Amino acid sequence: MNAPSHEKQIKLSEELQVLEVFWCPYARFRSDVTSVTSDRVPEDRNLCLLDHLVLAFATGNHGWTTAATMQLEGEKIIHLTLAMNGNPSDEDRHAATALLELLHGSTGQSDEAFIHYLRRYAAPHLSNVIQEVGLRLSSFLEREFPLSEVKWTVDSDELPGLEEVQKSYNRHEGQHISDYVRALFHALHSKIQELQPCTIQSVRNASNDHIRSILFLAHHLSRARALQTLYTSRNKDLNIVFIGLFRYRLARLGQYHTIMSAIIPSFQNSNSKLTVEWLHDAAHMQTIRLLRKPVQISLEAIPKPTVSIYDVLPNDEKEQEEIMVGMMEYLQWKDVVEVSVHPEIRLILAAQSSTLPLVGVSDGPCACCRHWIRSCKGKKWKTSHGPPHLDWTWKLPGHDRRLDDAVCKEVSSVLTSEVCIEINRGWN
């Protein structure tokens, strides 16, 4: 293993942070664009199970992501290796033990016990997911997204599990499915509003029934055909990125319902056994001091000379800088950052030959992890789905210089194109 150069890491961290906090937190890497088709492989059952399990184990402490790989020992034993951005605390270990007891059926009624587990151990992660859904749901309802423009078909096709939903949420006689779906979105919105501000404490203080209703509605609404229709619509007035993110977050929240109603009971009713271990490697975290300011990083990303760009900038350098400073003054810029080799990469590097080439990630892999994984030669790893997002805590793994350089090059090129696009728009 060659330690990546310190300068290379600083430049990468500067560029990632400026991209994430200012230019475009959902910037797409070229590999994200080109792999859309190749990713459409039939759903892997083991990856699906791993994805549910990793979400169940994610406590969200310190805002960290949890990742997991899987080994199968015979037909009955599933062994998970778990890792977080940092090393797990005692609280994370206790959480894992409590969840294992639940999965093995030693803590009584599963619904109640799982929600109790979530409120006790996973409230940081759960409150975060609820909050994100709440914010997007408010915008979705405020903008009155054109649910009315959707061509509605057979009721049960519009909302899978409609009968079950109707048992809990009354549907007026003769109420059109579009009005009913809209009423359900409003019901979810009110349930989330009751938790406002949605904090770790408000999730802990909420009743089990309250949390159960949120998970139930999120699960069913994320499968509403109308959302899929809006997402694939060619209507240029629709913000497809917004709809895609909203649907993803909703589905992630609803996944807790699936864990509670399907995954845990199936474990409890089978003789399957789940074992877990934590990955421990001390040297993957590092605190670094950045050298450049956002203005300088952005200006230095602009290729020179590019006539079209410099045409729209004032000639005077001082004035150029003032524009940038004016735009960036509200930024929460950090000069000192803590970076770590992300857990999914550490798990891949530590994988044994019997480990399945699957990695579950509680919040979906970030753009750098995806790019690194896709650039790997040999074993082709599949990861959880999720929208591409940047994460400036990304540390160069230093395992293979070719892979490190591939990520650095991609980040620099994405920064250049995002800055140029914005400048060509005339700073609006």
| Binding region for Zn ion (CB under 5 A) | 342, 366, 369
Of 293 and 342, the one with the shorter C-beta distance to Zn ion is: 342
List phi, psi (to 5°) of 68.
Answer: -150, 145
Q: How far is the CB of 180 from Zn ion (least distance, A)?
A: 39
Minimal distance, residue 191 CB to Zn ion, in Å: 31
Other beta carbons less than 10 A from residue 412's beta carbon: 16
Cβ 367 to Zn ion shortest distance, Å? 8
Closest residue by Cα to residue 87 from 57, 71, 64: 64
The residue (of 17 and 261) whose beta carbon lies closer to Zn ion is 17
Expressed in angstroms, the distance from the first to the final Cα of the chain is: 45
By beta-carbon proximity to Zn ion, the closer residue of 227 and 368 is 368
Q: What is the DSSP string of 287-333?
A: EEE--S-HHHHHHHTS-SS-HHHHHHS-S-HHHHHHHHHHHHTT---
Residue closer to Zn ion, measured from CB, 23 or 372: 372
Furthest CA-CA distance within the chain: 73
The whole-angstrom separation of Cα 130 and Cα 215 is 9
Instruction: For Zn ion, give the closer residue by CB, 206 or 366.
Output: 366
Q: Shortest gap between Cβ of 406 and Zn ion (angstroms)?
A: 15
Residues 316-324: contacts with CB under 8 Å, at least 24 apart? 321/295, 323/427, 324/294, 324/295, 324/298, 324/299
- Provide the minimum distance between the beta carbon of 366 and Zn ion in the complex, in angstroms, as a whole number: 3
CB of 81 to Zn ion, least distance (A): 17
Question: What residue spans of 259-293 are helical by DSSP H?
Answer: 264-268
**Which two structure tokens, joined as six digits, stand for 350?**
């530590």
Nearer of residues 19 and 192 to Zn ion, judged by Cβ:
19
Smallest distance from the beta carbon of 256 to Zn ion, in angstroms?
22
Stated length of the chain: 428
For Zn ion, which is the closer residue by CB, 263 or 366? 366
CA distance 72 to 76: 8
Nearer to Zn ion, 247 or 371 (CB): 371
Residue closer to Zn ion, measured from CB, 181 or 369 = 369
Q: How far is the CB of 208 from Zn ion (least distance, A)?
A: 33
In the complex, the smallest distance separating the C-beta of residue 365 from Zn ion, rounded to whole angstroms, is 5
Q: What b/e readout covers 358-369, taking b as 16+ CB neighbours within 10 angstroms?
A: bbbbbbbbbbbb
Shortest separation between residue 286's beta carbon and Zn ion, angstroms: 15
For 253-263, b/e burial (b = at least 16 CB within 10 A) is bbbbbbbbbeb
Which amino acid, 383?
T
Toward Zn ion, which CB reaches closer, 85 or 261?
85
Question: Which tokens belong to 115?
Answer: 């929600």
Short-list 400, 403, 391, CA closest to 85: 391
Cβ–Cβ < 8 Å for 368, 394 = yes
